Chain A
Amino acid sequence: MTELNNVRRADLVVIGGGPAGMAAAVAAYEKGLRDILILERDDNLGGILRQCIHNGFGLHRFGEELTGPEYAYRYEKQVKEYGIPYMLNTMVIDVDENKVVTAMNRECGIFTVEAKAVILAMGCRERPKGALNIAGTRPAGIYTAGTAQKFVNMKGLMPGREVVILGSGDIGLIMARRMTLEGAKVKAVCELMPYSGGLARNIEQCLNDFGIPLMLSHTVVEIHGKDRLTAVTIAKVDESRRPIPETFETIPCDTLLLSCGLIPENELTKASGIRLDRVTGGAVVDGERETEIPGIFACGNVLHVHDLVDYVSEEAVIAGEAAVKYIRGEKSHGMALNLVTDGKIRYTVPQKITSAEKTKVYFRVANVYRDVKIVVKEGERVILERKKQKVAPGEMETVLLSADMLAACDKNATISFSLEEVKK
């Protein structure tokens, strides 16, 4: 081991070398920034996409259908061609408000990087099983869908042969197909809500193609088995999501996969004192993805859980370019618009807009709504209306606010986002 080089400097430190981090670094490079450092905790660039071997990525970004590793490789190649420095197997353990990043790896031990700007791109993690608080025993055979995905796709291991899946998030749906292809029998996918949290096309091609039943308004109420899981008891739930005793049914299985949603991984963000949005679980940011600590930006699933990686990359470009502006002292803060929602729309990203530049606002809705319009208003003044046949919680929606629209607003206005019924 060489002598430890414990204090470094970089213009831009990007935390995370997944699709968000790489796209942000590439965007910053393309704006002329050279002194960039990507810190990645895994042994390769690519992030979680490396285990998402299914196709369906990149249709928006690259106009073709790619698998996860292929999508990641497009960015990895670019990072390498540009010669953007990156460190693998490097865990960031702290980011402070002065943009000093503390990290560790085998070669350097614990070291700090003093950065002019930082981009947070740590991604998200799955909601753990404990949060679900299912009664019964605690045998082997209960995994989040992502853990099973890693075992099957990266390690060539079979976590089980007879599977029940709780939650219809996309990873769960994808794993239903994946386990089936590898010879497992997927007996049911139970979803607590009356609608799926996953994409309609995944229900079609991952469940319907293989005759796997999707049981809406169902949950797992009990786990059985001493050493290894032997069965689960499932039940239908009523409107207030309470299990209905008459509907209890025990399904023999050796594996329970959990796909109950994703949570942005914001331990570092929280520790650095950055304010988080309680709904997204990610930082509160402006249109350029700057958090409330100047010079610290966030993008990708660490900011809010996206449905498509294409949008992750798109957002990362915004953050990457804005970080360069910040470093050059060109980032303007001409206004302070506050974006609020009506509850039917659960959140917006960004939550604030600080300059009158064209801004794409991302949001998700709380329920499945049909024949509605998205209404954006400043007080009673309607800025924009957009009709929608159907909106669903599983899919991210966007509206584009033009520079003119924003310039017409009061500098400190509150901009409301709501869903209204369209009378037929």
Chain B
Amino acid sequence: MANERRLTCIVCPKGCDLVVEFDDTGAIKNISGYTCPRGKDYAIAECTAPVRTVTSTVRCEDGEVVAVKTAKPIPKEKIFEVMAAINKVVAPNTLKIGDVVIEKVAGTDADVVATANR
């Protein structure tokens, strides 16, 4: 029975190899391999409720595209829902870095914000 899970940490470019061990109830028993506290947090999140930051572009009224991101990570299973919402938007031509394009996208608590200037 597999009672451990091996992960590659995605928090920073070091990409530490993490090992998460579970007890018989499926609860996390031990985490090893991380080299910073954020790595440990990532391992816990990845095994309980994995999240990702989505980056993409939105089209403006004049047809040009501008880069956007979710201002914080969203549940991993919602990535394509978030993309669908981003793809529906038509943003103003005056978009500036940090402007909110979509509030609380796809029922998450994350806003979609512009990451570049027009």
Please report A residues at the B interface, Cβ cutoff 8 Å. 50, 53-56, 59, 65, 67, 69-70, 73, 152-156, 181-182, 199-201, 203-205, 209, 307-308, 395
Known: A73-B97, A209-B76. A307 touches B13 (CB 8 A): yes
Known: A50-B116, A67-B67, A73-B116. A200 touches B57 (CB 8 A): no
Offer 27 A-B interface pairs, CB within 8 angstroms, sorted by A: A53-B55, A53-B57, A53-B115, A53-B116, A54-B55, A55-B69, A59-B12, A59-B13, A67-B67, A67-B69, A69-B67, A70-B116, A156-B63, A181-B54, A181-B83, A199-B13, A201-B9, A201-B10, A201-B11, A201-B13, A201-B15, A204-B7, A204-B8, A204-B10, A204-B15, A205-B10, A395-B14
CB distance from A172 to the nearest CB of B (A): 16
Interface residues of B in 8-25 (CB under 8 A from A): 8-15, 17
Contacts of A155 in B (CB 8 A): 65
Q: Does B3 contact A (CB under 8 A)?
A: no
The answer to whether A181 touches B79 (Cβ under 8 A) is yes
Which range holds the interface residue count of chain B? 20 to 34
- Inter-chain CA distance A50–B116, complex, in Å, is 8
Please report B residues at the A interface, Cβ cutoff 8 Å. 7-15, 17, 52-57, 59, 63-65, 67, 69, 76, 79-80, 83, 97, 115-117
- Inter-chain CA distance A200–B11, complex, in Å, is 11
- Inter-chain CA distance A154–B59, complex, in Å, is 11
Instruction: Supply 11 further A-B pairs (C-beta < 8 A) apart from A55-B55, A205-B10, A205-B52.
Output: A55-B53, A67-B67, A69-B97, A70-B115, A70-B116, A156-B59, A181-B80, A200-B17, A201-B11, A201-B15, A308-B13
- Inter-chain CA distance A73–B54, complex, in Å, is 19
The answer to whether B13 touches A154 (Cβ under 8 A) is no
